[in-house]
Structure 1
Amino acid sequence: MRCLNVHQGQALRDLERAFKNFFTVPGRGFPKFKKKGKKDSLYLEGSIKILKGNYIKLPRIGIVKTYCILPSVPVKNVRISKRAGDWYISFKYDECQPRPLTKKRAIIGVDVGINALATCSDGTTYPNVKAYKQAKKRLTRYQRRVQKKEPGSKNRAKAVKKLAKTHKKIADIRADALHELTTWASFKPQHHSDRSMTM
């Protein structure tokens, strides 16, 4: 039952943070209860151990195989979440060795947009990838299908699931493209100033 108690304790900490944001952060609304089936997540801490390769041992769940290779570090806690039918795990750990400071160089601004993936202050423009444009077309098509389905029907539930997967695919495509862009930019001999990074 320890695992369940830890999860409840984290839920109370999340609630406390939500109320603090409501009273201190302008524009934050009153905290709402999470609806079952929407943004489902689970918090765990305790005897968590990363095994060799892409396996992690979780309390009361057992050994779970992950898609990516995990670092061999002691884990403090994990949060398991569900997005568009797929499960994700994020974990917190202490980085043993601090990263060396990089030497500051010339500054360049990066503006992330919608029509273009990113535009730099030196005039360089990076267009959206082809897969992103194709996924946007599918998104429009699935949105129309959801609107035509009867609320509460199984067909609407199927259409909503496809729509959610398309939203996730678009977010993943943009995140991957931005990751490649920022990785490339980090090796350029400039110091970059990012703007409008929220997707």
Structure 2
Amino acid sequence: MALVATAEVCDANPHLIQTGELRALQPIFQIYGRRQVFSGPVVTVKVFEDNVLIREFLEEKGNGQVLVVDGGGSLRCAILGGNPVQQAQNNGWAGIVVNGCIRDVDEINGCDIGVRALASHPMKANKKGMGEKHVPVTIAGTRICDGEWLYADTDGILVSKAELSMTRALHRAEFIIWPHHKTGFTF
């Protein structure tokens, strides 16, 4: 899977943004983990101050997927810690986006996986198993569904209804730029 620059994707695809096929999450996430750039098909889970369902997902093979966790934006405890992130790395997950808090930041920052979360918090979550898997979630003002694609880098996070073809995106950018190359126009 090719790495995608989110800013370039936005510049090359205004039509996808206008139709809602490509959406940007609000810039509220902190960057954790060694992998600052990641992408993959989305799997969703909705929980509130409980991490049992998150752990269940990350114990499974990730196959390059991105787990999107709607933790309700709670800042009262961490719903993801170092052990499940290490497991996610070992099981082939591309990344995890958490609408909530994490903990064990030093441990997570040593893992070769991309993690985005609102903040860190030292308190652990409940373990009641409450929540829902594979349901549409709304995170940072953006509705996200299973099977959509998520692209994250240091500029932000994009969600697309389908996998983006960088060849198509770059061709479109060249189509826009090419007429201006002889005029000395700069971008």
Q: Comparing both structures, which one devotes a greater share of its residues to helix? A: 1
Alignment TM-score, normalising by the size of structure 1: 0.18
Q: Which has the higher contact order (CA 8 A, sep 6+)?
A: 2
Which protein is bigger by CA-based radius of gyration? 1
Scaled by the length of structure 2, the TM-score of the pair is 0.18
